[in-house]
Amino acid sequence: MELTRDMRDMLDGKYGEGASLALKVQVGIGECFDAPRMVPITNAHVALSNQEADLWFAEKMVKLGARTKIPPTVNPGFCLAYFEEKNMVTEEEADHMRRTHEAYKTLGCRLTYNCTPYMDTNIPFPNEIIAFSESSATPYVNSVWGARTNRESAQSALCAAITGVAPEYGLLLDENRKGNILVEVKSRMEGDFSFNLLGYMGKKIGPGIPVFTGLGDYVSPEAHRNLGAELNTSGAYGMYHIVGVTPEAPTLEAAFGGKKPQRTVVITDEDFERVLEKEISDPGGRKIDFALFGCPHTSTKELLHIADRLYGKKLAVPLWIMTSSLTKSNAGKMGLLDVIRAAGGDVVEDTCSDQPCWHLYKGKVGVTESPKCAYYPRKRGLEFVIRDMDTCIDAALKGEVE
């Protein structure tokens, strides 16, 4: 791999052991993908998970004296102050979150604790070379904003933030950003929830870069968020195109780079019904114990909708809504938090569904609008019925789901 003098100095330890190790990791990744060189990045996002391997690597970098050259935004763990006050985490779990916070703070990260930075705090420009990890973030910044990143891990994105460079391969190159799978959507697309189900067609779509047709000429930010999140729950995708919507797909021909698709996949209503009823959701027609929204994080538009549906009503079961601290702050100024709390729900900042703070619902059944939210907490013993948001709100008000 071609390295500049400055990069060789970094490898040799001129800028410290932490920077040296970070670049060694990146060189190793680059060599695996035959990257000819490193290129500068201007932005990064690290999908910290607040789990053992994640913390081990971050603390190792701290001990080696690393600091981020490009301060990245970061994913959520759980809101320590909130869950400690409510006595919902053990001291060991709280200490783990404290250590995570201190490690990333010392590294110089932007502690946004938000899995949707691409919607507010970290929005890249078209063609900007960046290093993003996070399952919904990578396809969003590539597909919707037209920026350029590979599907980084939390560790490789952190290394890029420390060194300020990334190996040039994959989706950083023009020729690798063209679609190769035609996905003809013939199902009814009824609101943003339908994009959750469309994204969960990853097993049927198969590996590659899908080009979607049949989705109209407008797709909401929340729908894009849902699509990317579920594509990377049901499969592994760094990018997608929607003809006439996303910037690199003004036409079908442009999306495929003038080539024919390798295969065509047709998505129908029957596909949606099958995946929802037989693959990803517990059966309905039962009582529920709680409702959990916000995986990925809930937007201001969605909080407005939830507050409107809850105004003047009382919930039968607890409703938790995960979002960013920025969105929660704005919701407070708008009076939305008061409405939701008056109904018996709450909005929790800086928190992910795949965290130990939710263990009080182990063995219980909740409702959620997000297949991703249902997928990850299952290993912690939580079960979910998946429905559209309005049905979930109705279920939380009644204490049972259709």
* Domain spans of the chain, in order of start: 5-174, 178-278, 281-401
Residue pair 77/97 in contact by the 8 Å Cβ criterion: yes
265 strand-pairing partners: 183
- What are the CA-CA distances from residue 236 to residues 96, 163, 233 (Å)? 29, 26, 7
pLDDT of residue 14: 97
pLDDT of residue 294: 98
pLDDT > 90: what percent of the chain?
A: 98
Count how many Cα atoms sit within 13 Å of the Cα of residue 41 in the half-sphere of its side chain.
33
What's 148's DSSP letter?
B
Angle (CA) 166-168-169 rounded to 5° is 120
pLDDT of residue 371: 97
Say if domain 281-401 classifies as CATH 3.90.76.10.
Answer: no
pLDDT at 259 over 90: yes
What pLDDT digit, counting tens, does each position of 76-133 carry?
A: 999 999 999 999 999 999 999 999 999 999 999 999 999 999 999 999 999 999 999 9
DSSP H helices in 177-268: 193-199, 202-205, 221-234, 252-255
pLDDT at 402 over 90: no
Angle (CA) 49-52-54 rounded to 5° is 45
| Nearest residue to 261 via CA among 168, 180, 377, 165 | 180
What pLDDT digit, counting tens, does each position of 243-255 carry?
A: 999 999 999 999 9
Report pTM: 0.97
Residue pair 230/196 in contact by the 8 Å Cβ criterion: yes
- Block residue for tokens 């970061």: 74
pLDDT at 198 over 90: yes
261 confidence band (pLDDT: 50, 70, 90): very high
Report how far residue 29's alpha carbon sits from residue 11's, in angstroms, rounded to the nearest whole number: 15
For every residue of 89-140, DSSP letters joined together read S-HHHHHHHHHHHHHHHHTT-B----S-GGGTT--PPTT-B-EE-STTHHHH
- Block residue for tokens 């590539």: 142
Report how far residue 250's alpha carbon sits from residue 47's, in angstroms, rounded to the nearest whole number: 31
Average model confidence (pLDDT) for the chain?
97
Residue pair 199/267 in contact by the 8 Å Cβ criterion: no
Q: Same CATH topology for 5-174 and 281-401?
A: yes
Q: Which CATH entry fits the domain spanning 5-174: 2.60.40, 3.30.300, 3.30.2000, 3.30.499?
A: 3.30.499
For every residue of 38-54, DSSP letters joined together read EEE-S-EEE----SHHH
What's 14's DSSP letter?
T
Report how far residue 262's alpha carbon sits from residue 179's, in angstroms, rounded to the nearest whole number: 9
Mean pLDDT to the nearest integer, 368-391: 96
